[in-house]
Amino acid sequence: MVMTHRKQSTASRKITNAGSPTVEEKSTGYIIPVEYTAVKMVSRGESETHRLRQQMEEQLDRLMTQLADLEECKAELDPEEYEDARKDTLEQLNEFQSSLSRMTSGDMTLVDSFNAMQLAIQAAISQAFKTPEVIQMFAKKQPDQLREKLSQIERDQKIGKLSLDVYEQQKVEVLSALQKLGETLSPTEMQFLEAHASTVMKNFDVVTDEKGSDYKVLEMARQGLR
């Protein structure tokens, strides 16, 4: 049977789609396919997730800037002032992580979207990662920028700009972040990571690969803040 269009009123009309359920769009008076409504809902959901992610990234950027500024001023502070300020920032990160975990609980779309950010925050809280720039790249899922950072670290070490300890710490952080983001490491990079990862980093790797990792990493963080 051929479907025909008919007017509902002078201000609105009906659009039918043979074989498809329809719903009424109240604001316009149109009747449209359910499939189209679903697409609109998905699009709106993606937009809200994107906006939420931007807000979370801005909050994380603020905390990472705070941490970076603290490291730059370290020489000007006495040890107690530095430790108190760093502890305060890590506690703020802890609160941020707890809020993020509550927000994403039970919502797989949000869990997938914020997984890297949660891991990066956990790494910072547990002090497995100490380089704000690397933490930010990890949180924002930026493997290309992490590779560029790795090249910069190698150059700086060759010209004596980085001490051996700082070089090893930052390189391990970058390689670990790349690995957590699903990037393939070369055999040489894997050997370096295994040889130079600190106990804290190894513990972080273990608990983030297990079920209930959020709770375990936060427990690591609380112990470190005491």
* pLDDT band at residue 209 under the 50/70/90 scheme: low
Question: pLDDT tens digits, residue range 100-135?
Answer: 888 887 777 777 778 889 999 999 988 899 999 999
Q: Contact 153/171 with Cβ under 8 angstroms?
A: yes
Confidence at residue 113, expressed as pLDDT on a 0 to 100 scale:
79
At CA 90, angle to CA 85 and CA 95, rounded to 5?
125
The model's pTM? 0.70
* pLDDT tens figures, 141-153: 999 999 999 999 9
Question: Is residue 204 over pLDDT 60?
Answer: yes
Tell me which of 7-21, 88-102, 134-148 is least confident: 7-21
CB 143 within 8 A of CB 183: yes
* CB 182 within 8 Å of CB 169: no
